[in-house]
Amino acid sequence: MKFLTYAAALIATAVLASAAPSVCVPGTETLLKSRDVGGKQYTIHSCTTAEGAAPPDGEQGNPLGGITFKKRDQDLCGAPCTTYCNRGTGGPNPNDCSALASEYQNDGQFDLPAGQTWYWNYGSCEVWQVNTSSGNEWYCYDESNWGGVVNYLAWNCQATTGGYNGGSCHFYDNTGVGWVQVQTY
């Protein structure tokens, strides 16, 4: 019994110690949810977004240049976003990203507090959603929103489609509201 308790503690520590995205303030990471599906962990973490956080340079450069604060809450369900693929090779296995999107697509909406980043991991896929506004953001997990963005970025911003290493989708044409990032975990 002691061994099982010790093993569970090691696993929990490993899950909590997963590398946080560079947009996070170090030491602010929190595990929100974890579940095992098919021998792989699905995890959701949160952290405080670092001041001046900006997505990796995309094919057309980094249009945000840092945080632009808005003073209102946003419902991003159905909101348009502009896609940028990151230069590089590799990227996550699109099948892992599709599995991640499918796992959460029936979970309704989620509320991303102002100045927070959430990041989801599964297999080789890591997805961030960054709120760079001063208001809360609501977004839908379904295939028409978060799930569809994750799938689109995973399948269209990979090495086999033009030398890419994941990508990002910036809400409302880069107005500083925030973005979704798909990359290798």
User: What single-letter amino acid sits at 10?
Assistant: L
One-letter amino acid of 109: Q
> Chain centroid to CA 62: how far?
17
d(CA 159, CA 61) in angstroms, rounded, equals: 18
**What digits encode the pLDDT tens for the residues 10-60?**
333 333 345 667 889 999 999 999 998 888 899 999 999 988 776 655 443
Q: Which domain holds residue 66?
A: 2-184
Q: Residue 68's pLDDT is what?
A: 44
Q: Which residues of the chain have pLDDT under 70?
A: 1-20, 54-72
Contacts of 61 (CB under 8 A, 6+ apart): none
HSE-up of 183 (CA within 13 Å, CB side)?
24
Cβ neighbors of 19 (< 8 A, separation 6 or more) are: none
Residue 89, C-beta contacts closer than 8 angstroms, at least 6 positions apart:
159, 163, 164, 165
pLDDT score for 148 = 95
Q: Give the separation between CA 40 and CA 13, rounded to whole angstroms.
A: 16
Contact assessment for residue 111 and residue 129, using Cβ atoms and an 8 Å cutoff: no
- The total number of structural domains that make up the chain: 1
Global pTM value:
0.78
Residue keyed to tokens 């033009």:
162
Q: How far apart are CA 140 and CA 145, in angstroms?
A: 6
Q: How many CA atoms lie within 13 A of 54 on its CB side?
A: 15
